[in-house]
Amino acid sequence: MTRSFLVLFALTLALGSAGSATDARPTAMLAVPGRANANPSIAAADRFVAIAWGAAAEGGATDVYVAVSRDQGQSFGAPLRVSDAASGTRLSGEQPPRVVLVPRGAKEPSIVVVWTGKDARGTRLLTARSEDGGRVF
């Protein structure tokens, strides 16, 4: 079951208002089809917004995804997976992925995502970084 609360939650934070049923602003869908999408984290700087969340396959692995907006959250690019199968991603409401924007002067900010993973060695903190505005991690 896909949780579409990511859309309203993320846009409410990005746009800075609760919105209403009569609000005419566009809505963006932030979800990976066919997966349970949950545990969002958001960071914004001026017009640049990045949202990270977990998307779990039914009976399978959980991956961390990021979507980026360059227009204050009015639209987002396609979600990009930032975790890999070997990471053993473990997310929850208490341990969501965290996204942070690092200023770089006149350039778009760097995007850093941190999440927890677990394997035979125990629990670990994992990270992915993008220096090109979220196109590649």
Q: What dihedral angle (degrees, nearest 10) is formed by the CA atoms of 81, 83, 85, 88? A: -140
| Highest averaged pLDDT of the listed ranges 8-12, 62-66, 117-121 | 62-66
Question: Is pLDDT at 9 greater than 90 in this prediction?
Answer: no
What is the tens place of the pLDDT at every residue in 36-51? 999 999 999 999 999 9
Give 95-131 as a DSSP string: S--EEEEEEETTEEEEEEEEEEEEETTEEEEEEEEES
Question: Is pLDDT at 98 greater than 70 in this prediction?
Answer: yes
Q: Which amino acid is it at 45?
A: A
Considering the entire predicted model, what is its pTM? 0.79
Mean pLDDT score across all residues of the chain: 83
Distance CA 77, CA 124 (A): 29
HSE at residue 6, side-chain half, CA atoms within 13 A, is 28
| Highest averaged pLDDT of the listed ranges 26-40, 78-92, 95-109, 114-128 | 95-109
* Both tokens assigned to 122: 């125990």
* Both tokens assigned to 56: 């779990």
Distance CA 44, CA 60 (A): 31
**Confidence (pLDDT) at 5:** 41
